Amino acid sequence: MESAPPTLRTLADRRGLLIGACVADRPLADDPLYAALLARELNAVVPENMMKMGPLRPSRDRWNWGPADSIVAFAQQHRMKVRGHTLAWHGSLPAWVTGGNFAQAELRGILEEHIRGVVGHYRGRVFAWDVVNEAVDGETGGLRPMWAAALGPECLDLAFRWAHEADPQAQLFYNDFGGEGLTAKSAAIYRLVSGMLGRGVPVHGVGLQMHVGLHDYPSPAGLAANINRLAALGLQVHVTELDVQIQRGLGTPQERLAAQARVYGDLVAACLDTGRCQAILTWGVTDRYSWIPHHTGRPDAPLLFDEAGRPKPAYEAVAAALRERTPA
Ligand code: G3I
């Protein structure tokens, strides 16, 4: 009997690459196919929402560890690595913070307490954190108001220092979208992390979210150039939230799925060819649980597995990119 083709996990393990996806606690608990697919095909996970401040801290003195703990426990049971997402972001903030009318010093105290509490709770179980998410304003290249005004620019460095003190082994990342190729935003991110390194801030990597579409994605050459210049700073690079929307595309559904496969294959190949991308995670496991239809209000199929968890042409393209580049 012909043996089954190697899974993405097998192909990635051969290369020492992390291949993963963001995970939601409800389908993980309720959908056995979802859990089985995760454990079979992937070697890394990141909680989609349950480590964000809003879900984690419904009130200042209540920590809702359960849902994120269930994802971490699943990962440990299946020998998977866990990325933590995210410690400091202008999104998914709880109402007691956004409505608290806090002065800057109070906000900094709340953020320090939060970062030390979360990183301390997961110390030794989360190997990498998105410490700061989406602080750069793509229009101006400067910092978003949360950092430029509410917390103050120095607080971005402090966030990384607090996380490092809470878990000195954890790899600490700056994570953002729109800065994958050679763009004004990626130049701003490069300047930001260069400055942090120059000040001795413990930043260890940059997360490239890579939310793209059939007609708007970074050129493989631009992506590789950006990865290489970040790596030249001594930084790691993770692709943290890869998905490829197909709703905005011409052609039949089959033609769009084929085009999607080419985009996935080209982007993954470009990352692998640099030899400086340590992790590639998609933002969601199967199309059924993608955030995109909720975000756009239109159906989509952005991931590697379809609504029923079956591999799509995009899966085959990623597997091929891994096979063609994985050391024997
Ligand atoms: O859990 C509540 C539910 O109880 C309630 O009934 C429902 C309706 O209000 O909301 C549910 O919470 C939603 C949550 O997703 C879980 O589904 C929030 O409203 C919704 O805002 C939240 O959206 C998430 C979004 O980040 C904001 O946190 C998406 O699922 C998630 O995919 C998305 O992920 C972000 C990354 O963290 C950062 N990069 C961009 C990426 C896409 O926006």
SS (H, E, C) 170-199: CEEEEEECCCCCCCHHHHHHHHHHHHHHHC
Spatial distance between the Cα atoms of 81 and 279, rounded to a whole number of angstroms: 10
Q: Which of 48, 64, 177, 185 has most ligand 1 atoms within 8 Å of CB, for mutation?
A: 48
Spatial distance between the Cα atoms of 77 and 79, rounded to a whole number of angstroms: 6
Distance from residue 93's CA to the centre of ligand 1 (Å):
11
Single out the catalytic residue among 41, 48, 134, 180. Answer: 134
Beta pairing partners, 286 = 305
Beta pairing partners, 16 = none
Q: What is the pLDDT of residues 174-187, one digit of tens each?
A: 999 999 999 999 99
Main-chain dihedrals φ then ψ at residue 51, nearest 5 degrees:
-105, 5
Q: What is the pLDDT of residues 53-73, one digit of tens each?
A: 999 999 999 999 999 999 999
Distance from residue 294's CA to the centre of ligand 1 (Å):
9
Return all residues near 137 (Cβ < 8 A) that are at least 6 apart. 143, 144
Q: What is the pLDDT of residues 192-232, one digit of tens each?
A: 999 999 999 999 999 999 999 999 999 999 999 999 999 99
Q: What is the pLDDT of residues 104-116, one digit of tens each?
A: 999 999 999 999 9
pLDDT beyond 70 at 74: yes
Amino acid identity of residue 107, one-letter, is L
- CA-55 nearest atom, ligand 1: 1
Distance from residue 49's CA to the centre of ligand 1 (Å):
6
Q: 0.95 cut: is pTM over it?
A: yes
Q: By the 8 A CB rule, do 298 and 249 touch? A: no
Nearest CA to ligand 1 atom 21: 92
Spatial distance between the Cα atoms of 237 and 210, rounded to a whole number of angstroms: 12
- Active site annotation includes 180: no
Task: Provide the 8-state DSSP code for 227.
Answer: H
**91 CB within 6 A, ligand 1:** yes
Band (241; pLDDT cuts 50, 70, 90): very high
3-state secondary structure 103-125: CHHHHHHHHHHHHHHHHHHCCCC
Single out the catalytic residue among 41, 48, 180, 241. Answer: 241
pLDDT beyond 90 at 2: no
* Residue-averaged pLDDT of the chain: 96
- Active site annotation includes 48: no
- CA-283 nearest atom, ligand 1: 32
Distance from residue 295's CA to the centre of ligand 1 (Å):
9
- CA-86 nearest atom, ligand 1: 37
